[in-house]
Amino acid sequence: MAEQTYFDDVKEGQELPEFTIQPDKQQLVKFAAGSGDFNPLHFDEKFPMLKGMGIADNIVHGRFKYAQVGRIVFAFAGYKGRVKKFGVSYRGMDLINTPIKVKGVVTAKKQEGGENIVELDVWTEDADGKKTTPGTAVVALPSKG
Amino acid sequence: MTTTNPSVITDEMRAIVGVEGAPATLEVERTNCRMFARSVGHADPIFYDVDAAKAAGYRDIVASPGFLGTPIFNPNRPPAGPAEMSGRGYSIPYKRVLNGGTEYEYFPENDVICAGDTITVRGKIAGFEETTGSIGPMLITKRETTYTNQDGKVVAKMYGTTIQY
The residue ranges of every structural domain in chain A are 7-141
Q: Chain B interface, mutation test: which of A22, A25, A26, A37, most B Cβ atoms within 10 Å?
A: A37
Per the domain annotation, does B3 fall within a domain? no
* Domain count across chain B: 1
Per the domain annotation, does B4 fall within a domain? no
Q: Chain A interface, mutation test: which of B103, B140, B143, B144, most A Cβ atoms within 10 Å?
A: B103
**What one-character DSSP code corresponds to residue A56?**
S
Per the domain annotation, does B53 fall within a domain? yes
Question: Is a pLDDT exceeding 70 seen at residue B34?
Answer: yes
**Per-residue pLDDT tens digits for A75-128:** 999 999 999 999 999 999 999 999 999 999 999 999 999 999 999 999 999 999
The CATH architecture to which A7-141 belongs is Roll (3.10)
Cα distance between residue A117 and residue A21, in whole Å: 29
Amino acid B48: pLDDT: 98
Range of the domain at B110: 11-164
Question: Is a pLDDT exceeding 80 seen at residue B85?
Answer: no
Amino acid A111: pLDDT: 97
Cα distance between residue A68 and residue B42, in whole Å: 9
**Per-residue pLDDT tens digits for A34-77:** 999 898 999 999 998 888 888 989 999 999 999 999 999 999 99
ipTM comes to: 0.94
Amino acid B80: pLDDT: 58
Between A and B, how many CB-CB pairs are < 8 A?
109
B142: CATH: 3.10.129.10
**Highest mean pLDDT: which of A21-25, B67-71, B99-103?**
A21-25
Cα distance between residue B137 and residue B119, in whole Å: 37
CB A119 within 8 A of CB A70: no
Per the domain annotation, does B2 fall within a domain? no
